[in-house]
């Protein structure tokens, strides 16, 4: 089951659910993926400022209230997996706010900054009632876009796990990324290369850890005119 909804806080978020192979239990695993628009990029038109150089990051009251509303929305959803893009890792107050509120709600948080001190990055949060974290890996593209990706290796925690045999575990690979904005056609090739690197990395990780066929959940945003389609297709189970 998949549903898309327009968030009241100005961006897209989607949830997907996954049922286990054991139809007698069928726990629902949900994922919300959300570009929260870093305040360092959000332009403000204050006092009819025509040059639009004002950024939300310069006005604490603005970004604080908006991100409190984002957190309110995320906590209302109570998804078992949250993947955020354009997370403002460069602001300690904002980072602490997310880590505290999500942590108090039972989430384990993993953040990753973009390279070259760009200011924003990624965040994955998984609820400890649903998952036990096995590993967290960081993928740095080291390209012109300073983009990055996260890989989180988790297993379903009892009683969510359908496996009654303690020797068998239901594991999932969660990948979160934010692809390069396609300012021109040449950058589309860079973006495709980023996707290729992710696929190579996931395949390498599976071989390195001798994983049997494992569900892979890919979340993220490509940032472009077809942004909405990426959100609709960006979660793969």
Query: Rounded to the nearest 10 degrees, how much is the dihedral formed by the CA atoms of 37, 39, 43, 44?
Result: 120
Which tens digits make up the pLDDT trace of 106-119? 999 999 999 999 99
> pLDDT band for position 67 (50/70/90)?
very high
Top pLDDT among 2 and 180 is at 180
C-alpha span between 202 and 218 (Å, rounded): 10
Nearest to 134 by CA among 28, 235, 210: 210
> Mean pLDDT over all residues of the chain?
81
> pLDDT band for position 143 (50/70/90)?
confident
pLDDT at residue number 51: 58
pLDDT at residue number 17: 44
In the Cβ-directed half-sphere of 46, how many Cα atoms lie within 13 Å? 10
Residue 161 has pLDDT above 80, yes or no: no
Q: What is the DSSP letter of 79?
A: -
The predicted model gives 175-189 an average pLDDT of 80
Handedness of CA 69, 73, 79, 81 (dihedral sign): negative
Is the N-terminal amide bond of 9 cis, ω within 30° of 0? no
The predicted model gives 135-146 an average pLDDT of 91
CATH classification number, 2-233, choose in 3.60.10.10, 3.40.190.10, 3.40.640.10, 2.60.40.10? 3.60.10.10
pTM here is: 0.80
Which tens digits make up the pLDDT trace of 1-18? 333 333 333 334 444 444
The predicted model gives 54-72 an average pLDDT of 96
């Amino acid at each position: 089951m998949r549903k898309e909804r327009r968030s009241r806080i100005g961006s897209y978020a989607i949830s997907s659910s996954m049922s286990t192979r054991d139809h007698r239990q069928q726990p629902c695993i949900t994922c919300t993926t959300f570009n929260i628009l870093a305040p360092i990029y959000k332009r403000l038109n204050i006092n009819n400022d025509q040059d639009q150089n004002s950024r939300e990051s310069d006005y604490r009251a603005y970004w604080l209230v908006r991100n409190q509303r984002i957190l309110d929305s995320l906590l209302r959803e109570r998804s078992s997996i949250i993947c955020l893009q354009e997370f403002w890792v460069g602001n300690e107050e904002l980072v602490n706010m997310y880590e505290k509120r999500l942590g108090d709600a039972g989430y384990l948080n993993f953040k990753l900054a973009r390279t070259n001190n760009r200011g924003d990055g990624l965040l994955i949060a998984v609820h400890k009632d649903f998952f036990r974290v096995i590993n967290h890996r960081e993928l740095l593209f080291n390209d012109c876009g300073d983009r990055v990706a996260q890989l989180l290796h988790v297993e379903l925690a009892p009683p969510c796990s359908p496996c009654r045999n303690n020797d068998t575990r239901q594991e999932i690979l969660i990948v979160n990324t934010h692809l390069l904005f396609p300012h021109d056609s040449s950058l589309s090739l860079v973006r495709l290369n980023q996707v290729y690197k992710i696929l190579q990395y996931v395949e390498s990780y599976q071989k390195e850890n001798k994983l049997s066929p494992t569900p892979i959940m890919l979340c993220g945003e490509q940032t472009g005119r077809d942004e909405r389609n990426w959100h609709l297709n960006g979660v793969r189970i």
